[in-house]
Structure 1
């Protein structure tokens, strides 16, 4: 690790990229710690931002929502807008579908529309959250309309600024800026999470109780590390499809290790878990601000994924969204066409329709494994508190979506840094 860090800061351009990235992340965390004026953050109940759709937004923002900070919305409006535009680009809206095929020119047009949609969604989310929390907890220090408008404007502006920071990091820094902002928010809460868990689990009433509880805490940390190793291993797992290239005079056959097309076992990352949790959490969040009746209580029980029926629905939705998003991300038809254009083919598979079917079959098979992996990770923070009463759901809140985000972003960033280091070393060798 020390050698790797030395190599990073030894390269001038890479050093500037890393320093710029760290500077932008510092600005984001600074804004995340500043509460919006006219907001009484102490009035917000801890349970209000630890479950449901608010819990998801708070986790992705690294605790920014529970403080109602300048970046309380984080990049969630931008992520939502990007997903919507991508879905609409699949021959739903002809204009967007045409831009999809125009390369960089079309990408710039789509990015512009995405930003406008981000601003709209940020205003909607900011207004909804401010109204909901003010009605439920009285977070506004005054009931004047202009204060409500002011808070919503600040939240929308903060979301747009967070999006801009993410773009700057992607262009001038290292890694994917949007992912790094989410990564930073989650990791920033990690020390506090372990401290809170320690205070909850460890008791010093007697010597026996102290020793026993400390051993249980050590076991908790080891279990946590084991989960992290499992996530890292699963995130790096790929299915390699061998490829060979043909020329006009001869066919050059490469082995599976030499030339292959890698498909990640979990190509959908954490998106299916977030979608599934959001679909179940949205109705519960709405009815939480309504008067309690038998109907609302029944709906809440059915959609609560910490109860049997809700848990089954949660698992089924994760599997569905995993297959949906994987097939959305990996277009078997386009890949087969690109292989045919470049003179490449899969051994023993005819180019064209057969290649498309083969890639689709492989994708569906490995998606079963990916869906199983996501289901296990998402179920850990739900099942563990039931079988291990010494812990709580908050103690393992990072065990689901958070761990996948942290592992995936960290691995991808390290991979990009190593790529830059290798490229620089290669250029230096050429100059000699």
Structure 2
């Protein structure tokens, strides 16, 4: 591991990518500590911490504590994720967007542009909602029209800047920029959370650490698990040359969607209770309590959404018909399966069966730690399954990208 890190640091291009990624994360964490103008931070912290088990505490986790400070990056990157979900759903529903997605890089750039516009609109609406919410809690003592516009514009600009930082990391750094920003947000709350071990009994501490270790090991095993479909290539004559046939395999991961379904499900389920926070009243309070992230209704819907989004995102990433046509064009076939439509049906059947245990695993890991915390009331360290899935999943994806860079230069990778 340390030798691989040393080798990565020796490569100028990889070193520049690592330094750029680190610099962007530092900028993000710096912006998460700069409050917007005219706000009483203590009043906001008291309000959120009094309802820490509710939705605002969960949202504060994804913003890296920026929400309790009502910082420039208080909205986090969640508006961009919500916009991405909406655009992907619209792409599946509208043929014009589906055709645009098939146009390659030019079409994808157009969809990305639409996602950016929608992100700004969602961030603007969310900024207005948070401003009005915190005003009712006395967190804006000198509230005026000018202050209102300053706060809304600052929060919207902060989310837009975060979106740009995430895209810069993806283009010029290591790993997926949006995922790394969420990773940095969650990890930033790890150190303060570890201090809560002092209030836990020895039995609860041992149980918590044991479950956490088991969860991390199982996540790594499932993320790396795959089924290999054998592929045989026949000899072909191209011009005057005869190509040599051979055999290889098509790897199908158990969890092809990664941690995206967990992030998508969190974004969708956080939207209704977030809206309810902006409107006072007993009805809205009951609605917010129903969507309590540690409550049974939320956990059940969370698991269902994760399973659904796992199938949805897997279908977006892997098209059996397109893959079967590519194999047929290149003279490849699966032994015992006819090329063309039978191959597509076979791949679809295998992928459907393979995705089910992966989806159930994601849902179980996401909700089981919350159930453990509910059973053991003295466990005060809330670093649930959603956080662990995202942290471990993003770390594995980033290590894989670094490993590919090392292997291209004939170095030994991280994952052996």
For 2:318, the equivalent position in structure 1 comes to 330
TM-score normalised to structure 1 length: 0.85
Report 1:79-118 matches (<5 A).
79-90=81-92, 92-94=94-96, 96-118=97-119
Partner of residue 402 from structure 1, selected from 387, 408, 413:
387
Q: What is the rounded CA distance, in whole Å, between the counterparts of 1:30 and 1:50 in structure 2?
A: 24
User: What's the CA shift for 1:388?
Assistant: 2.3
Worse-matched range after superposition: 241-250 or 369-378 = 241-250
Residues 1:363 and 2:351 aligned together? yes
Aligned residues of 1:227 and 1:399 also touching (Cα < 8 A): no
Aligned residues of 1:305 and 1:313 also touching (Cα < 8 A): no
Q: What is the rounded CA distance, in whole Å, between the counterparts of 1:308 and 1:138 in structure 2?
A: 32
Worse-matched range after superposition: 373-382 or 308-317 = 308-317
Please give the secondary structure, in 2, of the residue aligned with 1:240. Answer: strand
User: What's the CA shift for 1:112?
Assistant: 1.9
Q: What is the rounded CA distance, in whole Å, between the counterparts of 2:403 and 2:63 in structure 1?
A: 28
Partner of residue 56 from structure 2, selected from 54, 57, 81:
54
* Structure 1 alignment gaps of length 5 or more: 202-212, 427-432
Q: What is the rounded CA distance, in whole Å, between the counterparts of 1:77 and 1:155 in structure 2?
A: 11
Report 1:170-185 matches (<5 A).
170-185=170-185
Aligned residues of 2:38 and 2:143 also touching (Cα < 8 A): no
Residues 1:226 and 2:219 aligned together? no
Partner of residue 77 from structure 2, selected from 72, 75, 78:
75
For 2:396, the equivalent position in structure 1 comes to 411
For 1:243, the equivalent position in structure 2 comes to 231
Aligned residues of 1:63 and 1:185 also touching (Cα < 8 A): yes
Q: What is the rounded CA distance, in whole Å, between the counterparts of 2:109 and 2:263 in structure 1?
A: 27
User: What's the CA shift for 1:296?
Assistant: 6.3
**C-alpha deviations, 1:280-312, integer Å up to 9, x for none?**
55444444543225x964x56655564445544
Residues 1:198 and 2:191 aligned together? no
Please give the secondary structure, in 2, of the residue aligned with 1:66. Answer: coil
For 1:267, the equivalent position in structure 2 comes to 256
Please give the secondary structure, in 2, of the residue aligned with 1:4. Answer: helix
Please give the secondary structure, in 2, of the residue aligned with 1:232. Answer: helix
Q: What is the rounded CA distance, in whole Å, between the counterparts of 1:17 and 1:60 in structure 2?
A: 25
Worse-matched range after superposition: 340-349 or 146-155 = 340-349
Q: CA RMSD in A?
A: 2.5
Q: What is the rounded CA distance, in whole Å, between the counterparts of 2:51 and 2:75 in structure 1?
A: 13
Aligned residues of 1:52 and 1:277 also touching (Cα < 8 A): no
Please give the secondary structure, in 2, of the residue aligned with 1:244. Answer: strand
